[in-house]
Structure 1
Amino acid sequence: METTVKTHDGTGATSTSAPPVELQPFLHDACLTICAPSMAVSRPDGQIGGGPDGFYHGDRRGLSRLTVLAEGVPNAPISGGPDTAERASFRTVLRGLAEHSPDPAVTLERRRRVEAGELRESLTVVNAGRTAASVQLTVCAASDLASLETVKGGRPSRSVSPAQEAGGLIWADDEMTVRLTAEPAPEDVRCDPRRSGGEDPDGDSGDGPAGELRYRIELAAGESWTATLRCTVEDAKGAAFRPAEPRARAALAADAALDSADRGLDHWFARSCSDLGSLLLADPQDTDDTFLAAGAPWFLTLFGRDSLIAARMLLPLGTGLAAGTLRTLARRQGTRTDPATEEQPGKILHEVRRDGLQLSDDLALPPCYYGTVDATPLWVTLLHDAWRWGMSPEEVERLLPHAESALAWMEDHGDADGDGFLEYVDNTGHGLANQGWKDSGDAVRHSDGRLAEPPVALCEVQAYAHEAAVGGAALLRAFGRPGADRWEEWAERLKSRFRDRFWVEDAQGPYPAIALGSDKQPLDAVTSNMGHLLGTGLLDARESRLVAERLAGPELDSGFGLRTLAEGSGGYSPLGYHIGTVWPHDTAMAVRGLARSGHHAAAESLAAGLVRASVSFDGRLPELFAGHGTALDARPAPYPAACRPQAWAAASAVAVLQAVLGLDADAPGGRLSVRPELAAGYRPLHARGLRLGEKRFAVEVDAGGTPHVTGLPDVAVTAAGPESAGRPESD
């Protein structure tokens, strides 16, 4: 995704000048409740007001303020936070009311639920004291109807004056209508454009006109009072994608459960499964096809790369999400050459928004943008892997023409200069300068810190292309289509070229460079990108060992996961978006590759680091976090503007579980392999709700390390433990 902090020249490099007036708001202490494409962002005490706070729907902010205050007494929040992805609750003590001892007596409870297009809150005042209490409760609400782009950029917005309607408040413009109602109706509704919406520490839309709903509450000892607030959004233009049906959200990780000796892993897995359902969206062209939005709040829409990687990680929970993701992207696969959007025949898109994004003077993206070099090979690989995990042959076969177009793009357009590598360059002048997963302006560099000059050929993209060519060939051969031999030969040539051109050496030995630059020379920064090469077939055994050793070193392994750039490198910053932070999905992909290539000690260390980090984030790993590491910190510091939840960060829990269990599927061949080489620290372990095609199964690893598989009577299961290696076992 695009960088979240840029200098005015668009390079993303650290600026030594005075900070700009417009700063992206921080999120690290925010409470998010989500049901895509809607979400609420609030303070930890539940108050919505200031900075990025608000109730959003489809990249527009419906409410910029929703505060609840008992007037005339100190309001002391004592607890609050998300209960599930869609729900949160908060409790505040109203001090001094009905108190006859140091014990609090009267509390205000807020229980929030977000559904698509709707925010609902119940307000309950409870008097647990021995005498009556009188409470003046004021609900203050405001709206700026701002675009998410405006909020994310830290730009000022103009509040919209409310009007009264049926005992509530309404805000509207040409596209959006927002209504706030209450049951029971308030005694007083005020709509005064001269009244401030309250103090706003960030100096944004909170100072505009606000409306108020007022209640006078009289409670006898032991009594309680409840009201329900309901905010609804009507969007004439409509979000880019539809909300998924509740049944689809519930089915995404249905029955998936994990019980192991490590409660941190269990909690991370359970929390991730809950969050993933809240990020689910549906294709308006066929609402049965669902996919994961990339993350909240900034990327709650379709991102080709993110949605593909997350769906691939989740294949052990079923192929339905993968099928929906593949078809949604296939409908939008490039069919023509359009320099304005970077569309090309066969290319898979980068992102889709309801409106374009004007992120800076130098960075502006159209509503449908194709500026990504890696989504196209990742699409082919997901189709191959979904077939291996049991996607029906009929579904796979219908998508094969799209796979052939994607493979052709790698050769005809991905390799624009004919040197045999996939590379990118922004031809629009206002698109993403870097178009791999590390797409901030300062992400790709030499070891001394000098930045790359385009065109750039990333190391991991060559691995994705190799894996896509091999997987695509397997699909073509299995379904009797021509071209399999040609793509296998193409992959072999790519492997040979990569070995000749990408490998460099420093004092610690050989390693693959992050990329080739415009002069076709290696950009020799030591980065986490090399972890994506493992298990793709691009490396031989010796090369895999060298990469595994480098990943396991303290410069990259922070103890909480992989740093994106090795500590000590030129430009390294532990809070740099792609130059020193830790991204959970990045580490999980390395764990998967390490396990597939037999480097279990390094995989186990990195997996344990992610579990360790997840505990500090209460099971909801963010998009990224600081790379300071366990040598300095007992817990990881947040990256303040990170999305949380994020699809591929949440899906990483399933990817790590797959690596721990050593799961390898071959549904077309009727086989499943289970080799839990990483499970020592987690056993006994019991994983339920896994799927091979339509068949549900469970894996149990006992204390001695022996795996047992149930639920696959018609599948040849190889379950290899320390005393049963290679012995087939199936119930």
Structure 2
Amino acid sequence: MTATSRRPTPADPMPDARTRPGVSSGACRDMPPELGPDAIGVLEGRTFMFSDARGDVPRGSIGGLVHDDTRFLNQWELTIDDAPLLVLSSGTVDAYSAAFFLANSDLPHLPANRVGVRRQRFVGDGLYERVELRYFGIEPVSFRLRVAVGTDFADLFEIKESGRDRAPDIIRQHEPDGSALGFGYRNGSYAASVRVEADPPADLVDGDALVWDVCLERGQQWSCELQVPLRCGEEDYRPAVRGFGEAFDHGPEDPSTRWAAEKPHLHTDVDLLRDVYHRSAVDLVSMRIEKTIAGEPVVLLAAGLPWFLTTFGRDTVITAYQTVTCGPDVARGALIVLATHQAKGFNDFTDEEPGKIFHEYRSGELTQLGLKPYHPYYGSADTTALWLILLSEYWRWTGDADLVRRLRGNAEAALRWIDHYGDRDGDGYVEYATRSTQGLGNQCWRDSPDGVQYADGRIPVLPIATCEVQGYTYDAKLRMAELAEGLWQDPAMAQRLRADAARLCEQFNRDYWIPERGGYYAVGLDGDKRPIDSMTSNMGHLLWSGIVPEERAGQLARHLMSPELFSGWGVRTLSTADVGYNPIGYHVGTVWPHDNSIIAAGLARYGHRDEANRIAMAMLEASRHSEHRLPEAFSGYDRSFGRQPVPYPTACNPQAWASGAPLLFLRTMLGLEPREGELVADAHVPDELGRIRLHHVAALGRRWNVEAAGSDCTVSPAD
């Protein structure tokens, strides 16, 4: 084997390592296939549960109740006389609740459909479930209702892969009177426990099952309530007892409550936009993470269901940017939490370098015991620049001088990381290559092993400098120059940053531009500084960053809207003309809503408003086929392939930056920007949407009302 063949690539970033444990990458984002296509998922904050359409979690599936990266229930099955129930109808009610309408199956003494069963499920700091029975037979009947319970306390990473069998270490503390089942587990400093509390108590505890002897006459009803509180380390969590449509009881000063209550009110002539806006807001609130940093309660958003209900730096920052028109609290929380964990030293296992903003934060057993690098993991090349962009955007929208002054040291550390560690070889570009045996091969948003490739399908060698990271860096330096010149009163810093940005812009447009195929930008430079010549959606991110000269913007717009990239539902991640194109490949042909929201904003920045609207309308129309919720991604098949977008089989749903995409589309249509102490608009609303009224938009310490139809627009103070 030659030395060249052993060079690291994103598909094999540590070729000399003897073993390479599984890593958390896009390629691993699977849904629970054993639960069937009608699997039901509910979530609230850091808690989620997946079951089949009956509401059951069969042992051995990858469903269950998960909180903070630990699975607390891996079996949850309801039967009548040991027979599974028949599904009449089931589905989610709110993001955190679901209803299952069931009936008994055919039994020797009980014909099918004589007992109606309704399960009402709510998650959030545990599980609350109410089971109601009603008998419609003629003669009295007796049967045994059983709830079979199991737990494995698996780390989230083990749910999708083989993991250690903890059964010998799980301690049971079941109540003999049938009022509760208890399970506990400890491994060194890591401890977790779960209880299943029953009201009324079961008549029998049979192993790990609760059993009731039920006797019913015609028309008679019976019900029980099951509460599942959790304990993680020293923290106790108890689920709320409530009904459908009831919100969580947070105080008025709770940041997530405030964010949901204070978001702008949207009134439209067309229901579609309003329905998507409402669904996005509901989903975003359901994915909130609440923390207290130095005594200050903050809220930020997790990445997505099912496997990413945790803080991902890139996802969190982009979602905060997308949603800034709905209020500043999410952006503030993201800035503070990410700054709190900004890297201060070096660690090969976690890809840590001073000043770097983290990629992913986990809390499960494997991470706490140091077997996984996610406490936190710093393997992303773009998050640091994106954090700087968000800091600037937060300042522009709020004028919050106190926080932006407080975070100046973090901003300067981030800029030093870009110049000294992000730019690994002093060529002026931010590159990536992991140093961790469990690190990500691709450390840009296209983080699957084949997410960055040549037009002929070959995988490039590391380190790689992707194009959009350079665009983000350019934008970040100009934005920090603005802060340095103004709020921070440091003109020398401002001058230096503007000079850096000018040099980067000049060399980028020389080194990344490919004149063939009508002229376009390479997706990156490989480890030998050769252009990686695939044609990708990342060109739209370059427009968003402003690094593209005006004279080239039209060429990019034509490419992005060409049949090779635009599917009719959105812009594909990879051109159909490239060898590696696959409409169901994670980053090599799929259509991502968050990607398209950035592309649309970039097109609008350069005056291509019709093209931006075409993307936005395609996305809104796609949402009609998924209950007005945009998933993480959908397949890249052409719109002529069918009347609705073809789902991507393992998409996160909901997913934060997909839910944030409609809010950025709306901002782009309205052309909303804070400028010189006021909120201004430059509207270009599609005719299909008629008039848009967005009231009580928070900007610069005031509230504003925006009304627009076509290019006619008014902005007025709401107070």
Tell me which amino acid in the other structure corresponds to 1:260. T
Q: Distance in 1 between matches of 2:77 and 2:451?
A: 40
Paired position in structure 2 for 1:94: 104
- Which of 250, 253, 257 is residue 250 of structure 1 equivalent to? 257
Contact 1:680 1:705 in 2 (8 A): no
SS of the counterpart of 1:254?
helix
| Within-5 A mapping of 1:107-256 | 107-116=116-125, 118-127=126-135, 134-153=142-161, 157=165, 159=167, 162-165=172-175, 167=178, 168-174=180-186, 175-191=191-207, 211-236=208-233, 247-256=254-263
Contact 2:569 2:645 in 1 (8 A): yes
SS of the counterpart of 2:544?
coil
Residues 1:366 and 1:100: Cα distance change in structure 2 (over 3 Å) = closer
- Which of 424, 430, 445 is residue 438 of structure 2 equivalent to? 430
Paired position in structure 1 for 2:6: none
Q: Distance in 2 between matches of 1:458 and 1:8?
A: 20
| Within-5 A mapping of 1:509-524 | 509-524=518-533
- CA shift, 1:163, in A, is 4.5
Gaps of 5+ in 1: 11-21, 192-210, 714-731
SS of the counterpart of 1:561?
coil
Give deviations 1:576-598, integer Å, cap 9, x for gaps: 11111122111111111112221
- Which of 75, 85, 89 is residue 85 of structure 2 equivalent to? 75
Tell me which amino acid in the other structure corresponds to 1:675. D
SS of the counterpart of 1:545?
helix
- Which of 569, 572, 582 is residue 563 of structure 1 equivalent to? 572
- CA shift, 1:298, in A, is 1.2
Contact 1:150 1:157 in 2 (8 A): no
Tell me which amino acid in the other structure corresponds to 2:712. T
Give deviations 1:467-493, integer Å, cap 9, x for gaps: 101110111111112401111111111
Paired position in structure 1 for 2:500: 490
SS of the counterpart of 2:277?
helix
| Within-5 A mapping of 1:210-359 | 211-236=208-233, 247-256=254-263, 257-286=265-294, 288-355=297-364
Residues 1:453 and 1:4: Cα distance change in structure 2 (over 3 Å) = closer
- Which of 706, 710, 724 is residue 712 of structure 2 equivalent to? 706
Give deviations 1:620-666, integer Å, cap 9, x for gaps: 32222222231213222333332222111111121111112221123
Contact 1:356 1:366 in 2 (8 A): no
Paired position in structure 2 for 1:66: 76
Tell me which amino acid in the other structure corresponds to 2:414. A
Residues 1:655 and 1:425: Cα distance change in structure 2 (over 3 Å) = same
Larger CA deviation: 25-34 vs 333-342: 25-34
Establish whether residue 602 from structure 1 lines up as the match of residue 599 from structure 2: no
SS of the counterpart of 2:641?
coil
SS of the counterpart of 2:640?
coil
Tell me which amino acid in the other structure corresponds to 1:250. T
Compute the TM-score of the two structures, normalised by the length of structure 1: 0.85
Tell me which amino acid in the other structure corresponds to 1:533. L
Give deviations 1:479-514, integer Å, cap 9, x for gaps: 11240111111111111111101111333x001110
Paired position in structure 1 for 2:39: 30
Contact 1:501 1:522 in 2 (8 A): yes
Give deviations 1:80-132, integer Å, cap 9, x for gaps: 122111111111133679x9999x6642111111112x100111113467775
- CA shift, 1:68, in A, is 1.4
Contact 2:300 2:333 in 1 (8 A): yes
Paired position in structure 2 for 1:401: 409
Establish whether residue 696 from structure 1 lines up as the match of residue 703 from structure 2: yes
Paired position in structure 2 for 1:678: 685
Q: Distance in 1 between matches of 2:99 and 2:590?
A: 31
SS of the counterpart of 1:253?
helix
Residues 1:112 and 1:24: Cα distance change in structure 2 (over 3 Å) = closer
Contact 1:54 1:62 in 2 (8 A): yes
SS of the counterpart of 1:564?
coil
- CA shift, 1:36, in A, is 2.1
Residues 1:95 and 1:709: Cα distance change in structure 2 (over 3 Å) = farther
- CA shift, 1:255, in A, is 4.7
SS of the counterpart of 1:164?
coil
Residues 1:135 and 1:273: Cα distance change in structure 2 (over 3 Å) = farther
Contact 1:528 1:586 in 2 (8 A): yes
Q: Distance in 2 between matches of 1:597 and 1:488?
A: 21
Give deviations 1:151-182, integer Å, cap 9, x for gaps: 12265855557552252211111111111011
The Cα RMSD (Å) is: 3.1
Contact 1:260 1:683 in 2 (8 A): yes
Aligned residue pairs, count: 667
Paired position in structure 1 for 2:545: 536
Tell me which amino acid in the other structure corresponds to 1:678. V
Contact 1:357 1:367 in 2 (8 A): no
- Which of 571, 575, 580 is residue 589 of structure 2 equivalent to? 580
Give deviations 1:508-544, integer Å, cap 9, x for gaps: x001110011111110101111111113220122222
Contact 1:4 1:641 in 2 (8 A): no
Q: Distance in 1 between matches of 2:365 and 2:233?
A: 17
Q: Distance in 1 between matches of 2:30 and 2:311?
A: 25
Establish whether residue 421 from structure 1 lines up as the match of residue 429 from structure 2: yes
Give deviations 1:408-456, integer Å, cap 9, x for gaps: 2211221111111111111234311111111111111110001111111
SS of the counterpart of 1:268?
helix
SS of the counterpart of 1:39?
strand
SS of the counterpart of 1:535?
helix
Residues 1:100 and 1:137: Cα distance change in structure 2 (over 3 Å) = closer
Q: Distance in 2 between matches of 1:279 and 1:4?
A: 30
- CA shift, 1:619, in A, is 2.5
Q: Distance in 2 between matches of 1:70 and 1:699?
A: 57
Contact 2:572 2:589 in 1 (8 A): yes
Paired position in structure 2 for 1:54: 64
Compute the TM-score of the two structures, normalised by the length of structure 2: 0.86
Residues 1:7 and 1:530: Cα distance change in structure 2 (over 3 Å) = same
- CA shift, 1:231, in A, is 0.9
- CA shift, 1:337, in A, is 2.8
Contact 1:551 1:602 in 2 (8 A): no
- Which of 602, 609, 617 is residue 593 of structure 1 equivalent to? 602
Establish whether residue 372 from structure 1 lines up as the match of residue 380 from structure 2: yes
Tell me which amino acid in the other structure corresponds to 1:180. V
Residues 1:7 and 1:559: Cα distance change in structure 2 (over 3 Å) = farther
Residues 1:68 and 1:490: Cα distance change in structure 2 (over 3 Å) = same
Residues 1:411 and 1:540: Cα distance change in structure 2 (over 3 Å) = same
SS of the counterpart of 1:173?
strand
SS of the counterpart of 2:603?
helix
Q: Distance in 2 between matches of 1:324 and 1:690?
A: 19
Paired position in structure 2 for 1:477: 485
Q: Distance in 1 between matches of 2:612 and 2:30?
A: 38
Q: Distance in 2 between matches of 1:157 and 1:547?
A: 53
Contact 1:319 1:693 in 2 (8 A): no
Q: Distance in 2 between matches of 1:614 and 1:543?
A: 32
